[in-house]
């Protein structure tokens, strides 16, 4: 049973928004696009592994928690997948990295050799798994739960060639996950928890989860303003006759400013005032801006003149949007 599904990392929308608002010739554009490519590849690789679970026949009581984020006082743990069974707890560190991969257990280095012979140094996934294992083991010890904890590294690309292993760490291709689960079930044959206790443990781990904070970007001052059209166009939209119309492709969207508010949240601030909204969207009328902000149905503090809106992660378009717009 899946207790927590995986959602798209907020960094993807953040970087897509940033890229949309800067020209291709901007000096940081290649850096942003490469970062977006890496994060998107990692997410899609994790999704491919997630899809494998639906094909696996696993007879033990078990619960899946995808993308578990735990914030501690001075550090955090972001575990790609946690499998809680009545015999063991399995932690997955999922990597979408191609090329020839080398673990150096003495220097604790991890590197990739590309086709052209160049070498990239990367964060060692074995060290990441060790940290997660230590945290979960301590958690189980505090709860007096005698389950073994197994951390593994899963590579999602068939072109990933591991030339040296990190000690005794289990390293597999994602296609080998069903076989590994059979091995672990055979290695740990004793039922240490009943089904109710297994579910309680999974729930206790899930209660530790919190949404990771959005990474702050050093957004350049020359950020492009305005309400922009969709990804395929990117033209600036103008608001008149109760709707947004793209100057470039003539596409009409009555709630295009919702997306702009989310972009503002991811790039600048999670709160916004009427003045800031007008500056960012190009709306000149204070009254029109106020009605558009109200239509977004966002929580706020302050009176009418000094109102501060809290932009949520998702802005729900209310069914009466058309009726509301009639008055704008």
CATH of the domain at 262: 1.10.10.10
Tens of pLDDT, residues 102-140: 999 889 999 999 888 899 999 999 999 999 999 999 999
Length of the chain: 328
Total structural domains in the chain? Answer: 2
Residues 184, 257, single domain; the answer is no
Distance CA 122, CA 110 (A): 6
Distance CA 307, CA 129 (A): 46
Distance CA 168, CA 165 (A): 8
**What tokens does 145 get?**
């739960």
Q: What is the pLDDT of residue 282?
A: 92
Q: What is the pLDDT of residue 325?
A: 44
Q: Is residue 69 situated within a structural domain?
A: yes
Distance CA 279, CA 307 (A): 16
Q: What is the pLDDT of residue 231?
A: 63
Residues 42, 167, single domain; the answer is yes
Residues 175, 245, single domain; the answer is no
Residues 178, 255, single domain; the answer is no
Q: Is residue 220 situated within a structural domain?
A: no
Residues 84, 202, single domain; the answer is yes
Distance CA 107, CA 87 (A): 34
Residues 193, 240, single domain; the answer is no
Residues 158, 48, single domain; the answer is yes
Domain that holds residue 6: 2-207
* DSSP codes joined into one string, 252-284: EETTHHHHHHHHHHHHT-SEEEHHHHHHHH---
Distance CA 127, CA 299 (A): 42
Residues 198, 89, single domain; the answer is yes
Q: Is residue 215 situated within a structural domain?
A: no
Q: What is the pLDDT of residue 130?
A: 96
Q: What is the pLDDT of residue 138?
A: 96
Among 207, 235, 251, the domain-final residue is: 207
Residues of the chain falling short of pLDDT 70: 231, 316-328
Q: What is the pLDDT of residue 220?
A: 84
Distance CA 149, CA 130 (A): 11
Q: Is residue 213 situated within a structural domain?
A: no
Residues 200, 243, single domain; the answer is no
Distance CA 45, CA 153 (A): 13
**What tokens does 149 get?**
């904890």
Q: What is the pLDDT of residue 240?
A: 87
Q: What is the pLDDT of residue 306?
A: 87
Q: Is residue 126 situated within a structural domain?
A: yes
Q: Is residue 219 situated within a structural domain?
A: no
Q: Is residue 80 situated within a structural domain?
A: yes
Helices assigned H by DSSP within the chain: 10-20, 29-52, 125-142, 177-187, 195-207, 256-267, 274-281, 286-295, 321-325
**Please, are residues 303 and 295 in contact by the beta-carbon 8 Å criterion?**
no
């Amino acid at each position: 049973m899946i207790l927590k599904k995986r959602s798209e990392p907020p960094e993807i929308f953040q970087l897509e928004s940033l890229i949309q608002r800067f020209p291709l010739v901007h000096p940081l554009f290649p850096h942003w696009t490469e970062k977006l490519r890496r994060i998107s590849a990692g997410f899609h690789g994790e999704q491919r592994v997630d899809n494998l679970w639906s094909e696996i026949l696993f007879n033990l009581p078990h619960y899946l928690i995808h993308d578990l984020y735990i914030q501690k006082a001075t550090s955090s743990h972001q575990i790609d997948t946690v499998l809680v069974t009545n015999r063991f707890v399995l932690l997955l560190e999922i990597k979408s990295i191609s090329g020839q991969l080398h673990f150096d257990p003495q220097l604790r280095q991890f590197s990739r050799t590309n086709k052209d012979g160049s070498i990239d140094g990367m964060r060692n996934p074995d060290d990441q798994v060790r940290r997660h294992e230590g945290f979960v083991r301590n958690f189980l010890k505090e709860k007096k739960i005698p389950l073994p904890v197994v951390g593994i590294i899963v590579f999602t690309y068939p072109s990933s060639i591991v030339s040296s292993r990190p000690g005794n760490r289990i390293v597999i291709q994602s296609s080998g996950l069903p076989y590994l689960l059979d091995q672990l079930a055979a290695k740990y044959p004793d039922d240490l928890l009943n089904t109710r206790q297994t579910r309680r443990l999974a729930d206790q781990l899930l209660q530790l989860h919190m949404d990771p904070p959005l990474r702050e970007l050093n957004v350049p001052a020359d950020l492009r303003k305005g309400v922009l059209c969709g990804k395929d166009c990117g033209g600036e939209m103008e608001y008149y006759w109760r709707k947004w119309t793209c100057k470039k492709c003539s596409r009409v969207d009555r709630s295009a400013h919702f997306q702009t508010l989310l972009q503002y949240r991811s790039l600048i601030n999670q709160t916004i005032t009427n003045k800031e909204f007008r500056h960012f969207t190009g709306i000149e009328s204070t009254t029109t801006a106020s009605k558009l902000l109200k239509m977004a149905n966002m929580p706020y503090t302050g009176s009418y003149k000094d109102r501060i809106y809290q932009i949520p992660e998702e802005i729900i378009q209310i069914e009466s949007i058309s009726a509301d717009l009639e008055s704008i």
